[in-house]
Structure 1
Amino acid sequence: MKKLIFLLAIISSQLVFPQKSEINWIGFEALDDSLKVQEKPVVVYFYTDWCVYCKKMDRHAFKDPEIVNELNKDFYAVKMNAETTEAIEFDGQVFVNKQAENKRNGIHQIPLLIASREDKQFSLPAVLVLDKDFRIRKRSFEYLTSERMKELIKG
């Protein structure tokens, strides 16, 4: 009975309140826990503070109401600064930014592992679409307009 009341409260709040205007970004550690509760496709967005095209996507594509709604409803949306120096635990492993030890703008292990191009190069902005089993389905290594972002996440 409590589950039914909770479910009705969620549904009614969706009807009464307007759509959220921001994406519910989560980190890899939260993703690890979320995937254990409910399997869902994942969109991963790697950025840096200095990336001009990343900032432009943040202002445009990731503010588009259709994209916000789609990502919040059908995906786990992960946003990660590719240059973070924080250790991140995911799937029982700890990932770090080894490049930061001897490089000014070192790239963290996670983006290097899952978002490097076939020639092992990493470029920004990087957006990946993964299925519910965490297999990469689509990748983009360029600025995405709202229309191109919609194509990427729609299937």
Structure 2
Amino acid sequence: MKRSFFSSTNIILGLAFLLGTLQGFAQEVKWLTWDEAANLSATAENPKKVFIDVYTDWCGWCKKMDKDTFQNPEVAAYMSENYYMVKLDGEGKEPIVYKGKTYKFVPSGRKGYHEFAATLMQGRLSYPTTIFLDEELNMLSPVPGYQKPKPFLNIARYFGDDIYLEKDWNTYAGKPGK
């Protein structure tokens, strides 16, 4: 009896190899809640900075950034290594405690907003907005708007590698001074 290359065993082994190879390229970001990240930051031997993605369910650019930027293997690997990553619904209903103050949902118009999101975004409710905090949960900077992978990684490295302590953004980004 002649054996075909396309036997069920070969197909299964081939698919397993292919899935294993593709998995090596995909980097999954582990998103945390605010409480999880705050607890890790407070209790970790070597705490990381905290990154917050402020989004809403209805925001198309938020979904695009999730797909294009946060699932980019280079971005995902860098962020996972250097930050505790938090997803924060800008219209979430759960109270959040930050630096001893409790922030709550505020009904407004058809939906409303979360006070913590508004505080982090410095009153500018624009989605998506990404927030960078240091290891002690102090604000480094909000960054409003959709960011493609390469520019986003540039910003993330500026804070994640502590470049912000030595250079202002314009010098780092190669932009002429103002």
Given candidates 120, 131, 151, the residue that maps to 1:114 is: 120
For these two proteins, the number of residue pairs brought into alignment is 134
Between the aligned partners of 2:74 and 2:147, the Cα distance in structure 1 is: 15
Per-residue CA distance 1:35-77 (angstroms, 9 max, x = gap)? 1212221111100011110010011101001111111111111
Aligned to 1:45: 53
8 Å contact from structure 2 (residues 26, 71) kept in 1: no
Equivalent residue of 2:94, what SS?
coil
Rg comparison, structure with higher value: 2
Provide closer, same or farther for how the CA distance between residues 93 and 153 of structure 1 changes in structure 2, counting only shifts above 3 A: same
Distance in 2 between residues matched to 1:40 and 1:65, nearest whole Å: 20
Counterpart CA distance in 2 for 1:22 and 1:135 is 26
TM-score by length of 2: 0.69
Question: 1:78–1:154: structure 2 CA closer, same or farther, 3 Å change rule?
Answer: same
1-side partners of 2:134 and 2:25: how far apart? 25
* Alignment match, 2:88: 80
Greater Cα shift, 106-115 or 88-97: 88-97
Query: What residue is the counterpart of 2:172 in the other structure?
Result: none
Question: Which amino acid in structure 1 is aligned with residue 87 of structure 2?
Answer: K
**1:139 alignment partner, SS class:** strand
Identity of aligned residues (%): 24
| 1:154 aligned onto 2:157 | yes
CA drift of 1:96 comes to: 1.0
Offset at residue 115 of structure 1 (A): 1.3
Task: Specify whether residues 94 and 135 from structure 1 end up closer, same or farther in structure 2 by C-alpha distance, changes over 3 A only.
Answer: closer
Shift of 1:20: 6.3
> Quick check: 1:61 aligned with 2:84?
no
Cα distance change on mapping 1:87 and 1:138 into 2, 3 Å: closer
Asked whether the 8 Å contact 1:29–1:90 carries over to 2, the reply is no
Hey, what's the Cα distance between the residues in 1 that align with 2:144 and 2:86? 16
CA-based RMSD of the aligned residues comes to 1.9
Matching residue of 1:128? 131
Q: In structure 1, how many angstroms separate the alpha carbons of the residues matched to 2:83 and 2:60?
A: 25
Q: Which residue of 2 aligns with 1:10?
A: none
Matching residue's letter, 2:133 = L
- Cα distance in 2 for partners of 1:47, 1:28 equals 14
- 2:146 aligns with one of 130, 138, 143: 143
Which stretches in structure 1 are left out of the alignment for 5+ residues? 1-16
Partner of 2:27: 21
Counterpart amino acid of 2:28?
E
Superposition TM-score, scaled by structure 1 size: 0.78
